[in-house]
Structure 1
């Protein structure tokens, strides 16, 4: 079955301040979540993908995330819904809960801070090719208080700046 056609215009246009910088990146991550390649993400695929990101997420939380992203309520997340979620969660208007959810995915040990090691681990699982040294540079570029980690406020500023 072909992947759902997306109505998002200009697939290579940047998404200012977003975690996923372009539609190409959104599609790449969508395909990683869509394990069977049917063009939609089931609740099982969502649970598996989020589990791979290192966090233990309850079934209730998985259902909450699914219902938040699955706008048409058909039980699946299509590419349009996935792209819209990423666009909305990276825009400056609202999205604080979405930002917290994104932060929590990277904060593997749940200590309220993202370390270079945690960032590296999550990016590797998402298929990104970057070294631990690259992740250290990314962390230090947004580490306002100089503690070697990114806290939620620093993460929020990084994700919402354009």
Structure 2
């Protein structure tokens, strides 16, 4: 089944009155059905924030953006966790030595010079280390 069809099925399930839109009450019920909690005020605010056409309801496209955005947040969290594994003792950057140490733990032997060269390819500000944004660019598929 295509991903868009899956979104449509989930959306239709949440759209309890079948009008093709999710209202704040339905959104609140959706969150409750998956074990979350949302007040009526939070549901109203969420719909206002995510509603692309200003009608006070979420259409399928709004819903897809929300679901895919949640996936992006999860990916960002995973990247932050990976970054912390590579960085040097909470310094906020990855050095050639810390990169070499982590690669060694993963069974990949590299010299400090090879690690410097790897860093240099993604070191946008030229400071010789990778900050989180540079690490994110390095990890993004090109």
Which range, TM-score by smaller chain?
A: 0.3 to 0.5
| Greater gyration radius | 2
Larger relative helix fraction = 2
Q: Specify which structure has the higher proportion of strand.
A: 1
TM-score if structure 2 supplies the norm length? 0.47
Relative CO higher for 1 or 2, CA cutoff 8 Å, sep ≥ 6?
Answer: 1
